[in-house]
Amino acid sequence: QGAVAASGLGEPKRARELLDRAIAKFPDEPSPYFFRARLLLSNPALASDALADLATVIRLQPGHCQALR
């Protein structure tokens, strides 16, 4: 939640740091990957990283309807 708040407050670097930490701590949880992908998609240069995160979400939770969009 802190990462989403940081992103909403215009602090994408802070949001990325929080999401990276969440992923390191909970690598089998799809939500941090999904939110990091959404954050990364705001920068076209990071689109491939975002797609990799979305692929991870789908691998972890094949029915994740938001990641499949």
CA distance 22 to 29: 9
pLDDT at residue number 51: 96
pLDDT at residue number 43: 93
pLDDT at residue number 6: 56
pLDDT at residue number 11: 84
* Band of residue 63 on the pLDDT scale cut at 50, 70, 90: confident
- Return the SS3 of 27: coil
Contact present, 17 and 30 (Cβ < 8 Å): no
pLDDT single digits (tens) 4-61: 645 555 788 899 999 999 999 999 999 999 999 999 999 999 999 999 999 999 999 9
Contact present, 36 and 17 (Cβ < 8 Å): no
Classify each residue of 26-42 as buried b or exposed e, where b means 16 or more C-beta atoms within 10 Å of its C-beta: eeeebbbbbbbbbbbee
